[in-house]
Structure 1
């Protein structure tokens, strides 16, 4: 299954976009690595990751990108293939990984019954008004001396059923925005009867509301049936790796292509690990680019789509979506400026300059090399309801504490104030 891109802007527009390396479908990779697991034993494990997703890192020192004029195809479709039939096929066949000496067989445990449930997208239109708002955000970045080319923006007006975007599908390291997907995956396990929801209330709140890495590590281990391993046999690593890859598979089969969320966030104080080590370090190695580790990757479009599906109560199940929204709620009426010893999801992010009565559901991520956020934002009267996703994988955005709040405020003051001019996308 292929991921359809967001709907085309008016066909008269031409965009200048850097050409980036093509990325391999995680489902294709899983199939290849499964075959290799049976055929290749002992040495040569590095081949399993030869076809893995490579993180496209926009930090300084990246490979030179070649620009080209790309005429946007007006016949592009936004809808994914129809997969509304009941999901009854198990995702992964039974696999047994043997040791080189043939004395041990390690089973690869299937961690899902079904894939993620949403695969059909709405009949959105591309909005000229929303596009002008994104142009304003880009101008703000330029005025601050920030590299506009390192930023991606997706804006969806839920009231108008309209969308606009800038570089929506560029993969970036998402930092803690990945926790949005781990939350959804965990609720998927609850829905499929694979884990007990009552056992995870505390770590869920810590992961989503405080971006706690200890809780996140616990949740990833529970979902994938893996745990930290400092070392192990080649077969043990193969089995561990394939179970982690099923995190990607859950979403990729519903059209979330080029998404990689298999790696934990660091540091993890509870197990005294400051950075990836053991199997977690081994899975980051790319023999084609040893100095560029494979990392988690996500696009602003991935995040916007997922937040939309949660906001519209489609993700996993309506009741599950409602619970996830409550975990993502940021109360702007409280004194969020109080110093805390945990990640503050409002300060220096979208909510900082929004009116206190604004309804905000968000997930933010920050590293020294980038700043990212996706949010569902609504006015108290419901006249404004929209999804805003901004990914900025560059240290200048990480260091700038005003751009994200200013950008969100700029959009909030203007969106929904007039009937937008829209042009139908090419979908039927």
Structure 2
């Protein structure tokens, strides 16, 4: 059971969009993509009030930098429980992790959340303790008792060149222990942040501030790694409001976005994961999908 109500009109629109995008030089698109799409009737909805449609939304995929959303929420949870001390360096790291998608900042955040550090191989009890500590974020996610989170894995740092030493060993044979998320798990977490339904409302407002993206063309040109161009935000009007976290590497291009149209209409939640080198290089797929789905109106809306 999804956290939103299935909407047949939205499902039909999503099918039409995928057909068109597949025909536009992307054969087999459905095999390399997962989507969760939710729309709300209220301008300030509560969690669970949306209607939606999906494709492959339960498929666990490598999330790239989208996992940083989960780590940012975990920081607020740890602070709320007095499990870690607050400070300028922690706040700087969380800001850089979300706003700039810094992998170095993410490394510090994961170290603080789990009480671990990178380095050479460990053995015996020291290794067992290290791996147990590294799974603390997964244990917290399990404690939320959200069915969407049952199969996720959020225990690894994010890398530029890849893990070394104990980090490489912890990845497991054939990277079997690498991070894994689904679009529905990501959508539920982003909805919870945007509706104040996880950690405290003030903490959610802080997270929202970090996730907000400028659609101003001049600001985007000044920041080539703006997490808008080549992602869902590029397909939205410049006057729209956007909160998002993107992920991009050689085998993936993902985005998780919450956005409002310029006229302050109710928000839309859209999470798209794409996999494979062709999709990773495709800078027009996510913007076009956002453009098409953001223009959707239901049959009920057309009547009204």
> What is the TM-score when the length of structure 2 is the normalising length?
0.89
Gapped runs of 5+ residues in structure 2? 43-49
Q: Within 2, Cα distance between the matches of 1:332 and 1:183? A: 23
| Cα distance in 1 between the residues matched to 2:298 and 2:77 | 34
Post-superposition Cα deviations, 1:159-218, rounded to whole Å, max 9, x if no partner, equal 273121111100000000000000000111111122233332211111001000111000
Tell me the residue number matched to 2:103: 213
Given candidates 235, 244, 254, the residue that maps to 1:372 is 254
1:162 to 42, 51, 56: 51
8 Å CA contact retained: 2:69, 2:98: yes
Distance 2:276 2:231 in 1: 16
Q: Aligned pair 1:284/2:179, yes or no?
A: no
Q: Does residue 311 of structure 1 match 2:158?
A: no
Q: Which residue of 2 aligns with 1:263?
A: 156
Contact in 1 for aligned 2:11/2:53 (Cα 8 Å): yes
Q: Shift of residue 292 of structure 1?
A: 5.0
Deviation at 1:340, TM superposition (A): 4.2
User: Structure 1 unaligned runs (5+)?
Assistant: 7-120, 268-273, 422-428
Tell me the distance in 2 between the aligned counterparts of 1:416 and 1:194: 46
Work out which of the two has the higher radius of gyration on C-alpha atoms and give 1 or 2. 1
Alignment of 1:250 onto 2:137: no
Q: How do 1:187-206 and structure 2 match up within 5 A? A: 187-199=76-88, 200-206=90-96
Residue 272 of structure 2 aligns to a residue whose secondary structure is strand
2:295 alignment partner, SS class: helix
2:214 corresponds to which of 331, 356, 379: 331
Report the 3-state secondary structure (helix = DSSP H, G, I; strand = E; otherwise coil) of the residue aligned with 1:220: helix
Q: Which one has the bigger helix percentage?
A: 2
State how far apart, in whole Å, the 1-side matches of 2:289 and 2:132 are: 40
The separation in 2 between residues aligned to 1:217 and 1:156, in whole angstroms, is: 32
5 Å-filtered alignment, 1:348-427, equals: 348-415=230-297, 418-419=300-301
Deviation at 1:349, TM superposition (A): 0.5
Please state whether the residue corresponding to 2:283 is helix, strand or coil.
Answer: coil
Q: Aligned pair count?
A: 290
Task: Find 2:127's aligned residue among 237, 247, 250.
Answer: 237
CA distance in structure 2 between the aligned counterparts of 1:194 and 1:363, rounded to whole angstroms: 25
Contact 2:154 2:180 in 1 (8 A): yes
Mean Cα deviation higher: 397-406 or 252-261 = 252-261
